[in-house]
């Protein structure tokens, strides 16, 4: 099966995609050990012997062949990046997938939605293959060549912004994101110190928020604004590292507290940060008085009419 699929891929002109930032960003170099085979290496890196096809294509191996001990081969791999403050799905997709419009694909690949992204989050980046058509081809046939069926045709169309087209012409290139291959956990590179620090800060910040938010919430309901400020001071500087629900609640309570103190400017800033995390969030008219709602609207927010 692998041999037949390889012949098809080679006929249509597959070339591995080099990432824009550096040539080896989505490839790791592996030195063959005695007894290694393409199938065994695929199983070691991908957890699936049948994925050897991608190693063969990356190394321009036309037919399955014995490997020599000491030989170096290229392994296309998913990569892991750790988000920093200011990162968005769009900016990460633009950096690693070549276009910010692929943000929804990247979020889906990571089992997330584009509504949620905290600093310090490890994300996996899929590797891609550039397919050059040898003639007029249907996208469904390209999907079948790479994935064994045509179910991923719509995904390939969306990724290449071809929603209105059913195929590509001769010599036209199309990028195929390999969304069914992930690097085995044992093969993932260790986080560097900076990335680990961001991830650890995220964990610590979210644990701290889980502890102080109930205190701040209760203080707000009791009208103890100083207690609200004291509780939130423990997480105010780490809002970027909180999950979206925590960041929203921190921002709402901070903004409401500032309005209660007559400080509209910091309230506006707090509310705008909430909307930066989730632009569609609506403030409940039942939980906050009209004065706070007015500042929320000034920040660009809307009010939910139902509870």
CATH number of the domain that 291 lies in? 1.25.40
Residue 93, classed as helix, strand or coil, is helix
Looking at 168, 186, 204, which one is the last position of a domain? 186
Q: Is residue 268 part of a domain?
A: yes
Position 222 in a domain: yes
What does the alpha-carbon distance between residue 20 and residue 162 come to, in Å, rounded to a whole number? 22
SS3 label, residue 124 = strand
Of the three residues 169, 186, 203, the one that is the final residue of a domain is 186
In this prediction, residue 164 carries a pLDDT of 79
In this structure, the answer to whether residues 156 and 202 fall within a common structural domain is no
Whether residues 13 and 135 fall in one domain: yes
Spatial separation of the C-alpha atoms in residues 270 and 198, rounded to whole Å: 23
pLDDT of residue 306: 63
161 belongs to a structural domain: yes
69 and 147 together in one domain: yes
Q: Does residue 157 share a domain with residue 250?
A: no
Q: Are residues 9 and 155 in the same domain?
A: yes
Domain membership of residue 284 (yes or no) is yes
Task: Compute the residue count for the chain.
Answer: 307
Q: Is 264 exposed, middle or buried (0-12, 13-18, 19+ CB in 10 A)?
A: middle
The answer to whether residues 197 and 176 belong to one domain is: no
**Same domain, yes or no: 27 and 156:** yes
Distance (Å, rounded) from C-alpha 42 to C-alpha 51?
A: 6
Answer whether residue 304 shows pLDDT above 50.
yes
Higher pLDDT: 12 or 148? It is: 148
Domain annotation covers residue 89: no
Q: What is the mean pLDDT of the chain?
A: 87
Are residues 241 and 293 both part of a single domain? yes
Count of domains forming the chain: 2
Cβ neighbours, 10 Å, residue 251: 27
Q: Note whether residue 26 is domain-resident.
A: yes
**Residue range 45-62, pLDDT digits in tens:** 998 888 888 898 889 888
CA atoms of 118 and 242, how far apart (whole Å):
6
Q: What is the pLDDT of residues 213-262, one digit of tens each?
A: 999 999 999 999 999 999 999 999 999 999 999 999 999 999 999 999 89
Q: Does residue 104 lie within any of the structural domains?
A: no
pLDDT over threshold 60, residue 7: no
Q: How far apart are CA 247 and CA 270, in angstroms?
A: 10
**Alpha carbon separation from 211 to 152, 235, 268 (Å, rounded):** 43, 10, 25
152 and 275 share one domain: no
- CA-CA distances (angstroms) from residue 143 to 109, 183, 263? 17, 21, 57
Full residue range of the structural domain in which residue 199 is found? 193-304
- Spatial distance between the Cα atoms of 62 and 179, rounded to a whole number of angstroms: 23
User: Is the predicted pLDDT of residue 126 greater than 50, yes or no?
Assistant: yes
Is residue 87 in a domain?
no
49 and 179 in a common domain: yes
Q: Is the same domain home to 200 and 227?
A: yes
Predicted confidence (pLDDT) at residue 2 exceeds the cutoff of 50 = no
Q: Where does a domain end: 135, 154, 186?
A: 186
Q: Are residues 57 and 133 in the same domain?
A: yes
In this predicted structure, which of 36-40, 86-90, 138-142, 165-169 has the lowest mean pLDDT?
165-169
pLDDT of residue 4: 46
Q: Which of 182, 75, 129 is nearest to 67 (CA)?
A: 75
């Amino acid at each position: 099966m692998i041999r037949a699929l390889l012949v098809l891929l080679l006929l249509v002109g597959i070339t591995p995609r080099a990432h824009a930032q550096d040539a080896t960003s989505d490839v790791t170099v592996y030195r063959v050990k005695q007894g290694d085979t393409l199938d065994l290496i695929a199983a070691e890196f991908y957890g699936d012997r049948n994925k050897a096809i991608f190693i063969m294509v990356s190394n321009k191996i036309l037919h399955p062949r014995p490997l020599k001990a000491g030989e170096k081969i290229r392994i296309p791999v998913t990569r892991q990046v750790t988000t920093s403050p200011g990162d968005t799905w769009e900016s990460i997709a633009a950096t690693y997938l070549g276009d910010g419009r692929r943000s929804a694909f990247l979020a889906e690949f990571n089992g997330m939605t584009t509504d949620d992204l905290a600093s310090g989050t490890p994300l996996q980046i899929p590797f891609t293959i550039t397919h050059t058509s040898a003639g007029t081809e249907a996208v469904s046939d390209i999907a079948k060549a790479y994935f064994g069926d045509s179910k991923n045709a719509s995904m390939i169309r969306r990724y290449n912004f071809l929603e209105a087209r059913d195929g590509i012409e001769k010599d036209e290139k199309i990028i195929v994101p390999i969304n069914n291959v992930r690097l085995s956990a044992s093969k993932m590179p260790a986080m560097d110190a900076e990335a680990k620090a961001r991830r650890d800060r995220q964990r610590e910040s979210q644990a701290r928020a889980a502890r102080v938010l109930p205190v701040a919430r209760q203080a707000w309901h009791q009208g103890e604004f100083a207690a609200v400020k004291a509780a939130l001071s423990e997480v105010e500087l780490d809002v970027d590292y909180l999950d979206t629900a925590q960041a929203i609640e921190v921002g709402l309570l901070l903004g409401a507290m500032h309005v209660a103190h007559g400080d509209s400017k910091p309230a506006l800033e707090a509310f705008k940060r909430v909307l930066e995390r989730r632009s569609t969030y609506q403030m409940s008219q039942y939980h906050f008085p009209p004065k706070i709602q007015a500042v929320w609207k000034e920040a660009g927010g809307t009010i939910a009419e139902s509870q």
